[in-house]
Amino acid sequence: MAKHGADEPSSRSGSPDREDRVSEDRSLLHQRLAVQELINTEVSYVHMLHLCASDIRSRLQQLPQGDLDVLFSNIDDIIKVNSRFLHDLQETASKKEEQVQLVGNLFLEFQEELEQVYKIYCVSYDQALLLVEMYRKEPELQQHIQDIIKAVVPQAGSSGLSFLLVIPLQRITRYPLLLQKILENTLPDASAYPVLQRAVSALQDVNTNINEYKMRKEVASKYTKVEQLTLRERLARINTHTLSKKTTRLSQLLKQEAGLIPRTEDKEFDDLEERFQWVSLCVTELKNNVAAYLDHLQAFLCFRPHEYNLDIPEGPAVHYCNLARDLQLEAFLKFKQRLEGLVCQPLCSLAKALLGPQNLIKKRLNKLPDFERVEEKLLEVGSMTYEEQAARHTYQALNSLLVAELPQFNQLAMQWLGQILCTFVTLQRDLAKQVLQRAEGSMAQLPHHQVPEPAFRKLVEDTLGRTSNQLHSFQETFKKVRPPPTTQPLLPGSERQVQALLSRYGPGKLYQVTSNISGTGTLDLTLPRGQIVALLQDKDTKGNRSRWLVDTGGHRGYVPAGKLQLYHVVPSTEELQRQAGLNEDPRCLTPEAVRAPVPSIPTANQVIAAYPFVARSSHEVSLQAGQPVTVLEAQDKKGNPEWSLVEVNGRRGYVPSGFLARAPSPVLWGWNLPS
């Protein structure tokens, strides 16, 4: 009995120790089960991702590629990250004593990678759900998708795509819960405890950052859209709320300008915005310069000297024409196509990509007064309304998004711009190389290809000087051919109309149209250049003297006064002869009045156009000053010598005889290089 009594206290003292050991064993068991659950669920999760990416996506080829990109987003990147994570997670099983601590360190190691890949997937998840809803409105397509998913993943049930798309979101939100379960079954004094605490906090931060990123993207997508609104649509959006908001912002800005309240300064954002504006300016300038370069290139390609007949049967001119034809049809044309595809299109895409950030920066600037006002009220009162909280939240989202992504965007835009410039330089170098290669054969056939460069320069300068003097002499001779006519030529067949207007209104009322007139009003007339009209009134009914009332001999209406000039009537041959007969006196013989001779143009003769002429009907043909013209008949069908039938560039028609001139005597000029 004494012995039994002595053992009893020892039994009581050992009971708590056994309970502690049992509790520790139970916690350790639950901890191992939690770790095993983490590994097993990760295996199932990665297997499901592979099914989605390989089997299901490959069988949904009936859907457009754009839809597949939205539905599965960056699932390939998620598979890469989680496959490596699973491999490292399974390796921790070989180290039982350190496994929990290794698991915590593993989550800390993969924290940034998990956040980067899952935030992209979460942002595109809402768009994927919109596509799923759209597919449900098409029964045949929906049934086809359901059959594919049931064949691969039977447990998906009727949810189909929705069941698969939500799996990555559920997994990233479940990591903190699994870690928390492991932490709860870990002793506080264990070495793995602080590591698990940091891992739980890190995964919670990952989910918080993903939610904030998604929210910022939603705000950005709302304000990134560039709307092209008319003035009427903008006015229709104005209401009392917008007026109140604009007034409050203006009041806030005026207070800052007056120095009554401080201005919010953000040095980090200001530096980023300045760099972005600099990049935007560079892109705009380069785009304008490339557009001007393309215009000049197009104008250069329109000049084709090899298509003109130089009347030089052989020699350097022939070699030059062959080289010019080869470059025009191949080298320059190919260069233009490459320039448009490799420089212009990427540059336009870059300029278009700048519109989104520009609009976000503008919206941030508009929201800044609202944010400052709310912050001021928050300091004074300590509370704010729901609308003020939303405005504050919107500004913070815009500012955070711009500060986070503008550096990357600026860097990518600079790289993009640099690649475009390098491509442009490479195209120029390739063009120069092609031209030199093609010109080598032609250069060897030139008479002076062996002349030293200084001597060749002197030779070219002397030749250009002589050619310039010859051209100046030709220009002076050309100016002396015939003075420009003071009036426009009459339209063919309009002599009777002129005579009728002359007999009715007199010569002082006749005017000639100097350029084509297109009537826009009810009482306005449409008249061709050269039409003769009679002035009825030098103002309209409202007293406007820039519109005159005229008579064409058949119609009356208003025409612009600035397009009329007084017509000087030239007396006909019969009138001159009649006037000469009346002035004849048997006692005093005076010289007979002779009509000013109309220049005689030999038939089937080669002449040149002294002045430009624009055809006004299908019976006429247009001329350019200096253009060679072949005269077929020196008069019209009625025998009027004021009009000549000519042929220009294969087209026949009438032109005023006064617009033609004999070609000056041929002068040897041009590229006559001494041999």
Mean pLDDT of the chain: 80
CATH dotted code for 494-571? 2.30.30.40
Question: Does residue 536 contact residue 558 with C-beta atoms inside 8 Å?
Answer: no
Name the band, by pLDDT with cuts 50, 70 and 90, for residue 84.
very high
pLDDT beyond 90 at 198: yes
Q: pLDDT tens, 210-258?
A: 988 888 777 777 766 655 666 676 667 667 767 777 777 777 777 767 7
Average pLDDT over residues 189-198: 90
CATH topology of domain 19-224: Dbl Homology Domain; Chain A (1.20.900)
Q: pLDDT tens, 567-601?
A: 876 555 455 455 545 444 443 333 333 333 444 44
What local confidence, expressed as pLDDT, does residue 592 receive? 38
Estimate to the nearest angstrom the gap between the alpha carbon of 240 and the chain centroid: 37
Estimate to the nearest angstrom the gap between the alpha carbon of 48 and the chain centroid: 43
What local confidence, expressed as pLDDT, does residue 225 receive? 62
Stated pTM of the model = 0.49
Average pLDDT over residues 421-435: 90
What local confidence, expressed as pLDDT, does residue 577 receive? 52
User: What SS3 state is found at 270?
Assistant: helix
Lowest mean pLDDT among 124-128, 441-445, 667-671: 667-671
DSSP 2-37: HHHHHHHHHHHHHHHHHHHHHHHHHHHHHHHHHHHH
DSSP 456-508: HHHHHHHHHHHHHHHHHHHHHHHHTS-PPPSSPPPPTT-HHHHHHHHHHH-GG
What local confidence, expressed as pLDDT, does residue 107 receive? 93
Q: pLDDT tens, 276-290?
A: 999 999 999 998 998
CATH topology of domain 608-662: SH3 type barrels. (2.30.30)
For residue 414 the two structure tokens come to 């600079």
∠ Cα 178 184 190 (to 5°): 115
* More confident position, 321 or 181: 181
The amino acid present at 567, given as its one-letter code, is Y
pLDDT beyond 80 at 92: yes
Same fold, 246-444 and 494-571: no
pLDDT beyond 90 at 110: yes
Name the band, by pLDDT with cuts 50, 70 and 90, for residue 268.
confident
Q: pLDDT tens, 355-382?
A: 888 888 888 888 888 787 788 788 878 7
What local confidence, expressed as pLDDT, does residue 3 receive? 46
Pairing of strands 547-551, 628-633: unpaired
For residue 331 the two structure tokens come to 């080298």
Q: pLDDT tens, 466-507?
A: 998 888 888 887 776 555 544 555 555 567 788 888 888 888
Q: pLDDT tens, 269-328?
A: 888 888 999 999 999 999 899 888 888 887 877 777 667 666 666 666 677 777 777 777
Name the band, by pLDDT with cuts 50, 70 and 90, for residue 162.
confident
Percent of the chain having pLDDT more than 90?
18
Q: Cβ atoms within 10 A of the Cβ of 432, count?
A: 10
Top CATH class, 246-444? mainly alpha
User: What SS3 state is found at 512?
Assistant: strand
What local confidence, expressed as pLDDT, does residue 83 receive? 94
The dihedrals phi and psi of 559, each to the nearest 5 degrees, come to -140, 160
- Residue-range domain boundaries for the chain: 19-224, 246-444, 450-478, 494-571, 608-662
pLDDT beyond 50 at 521: yes
Lowest mean pLDDT among 74-78, 135-139, 339-343, 577-581: 577-581
Q: What is the dihedral of CA 280, 283, 287, 288, to 10 degrees?
A: 60
What local confidence, expressed as pLDDT, does residue 175 receive? 92
Distance CA(205)–CA(201), nearest Å, equals: 6
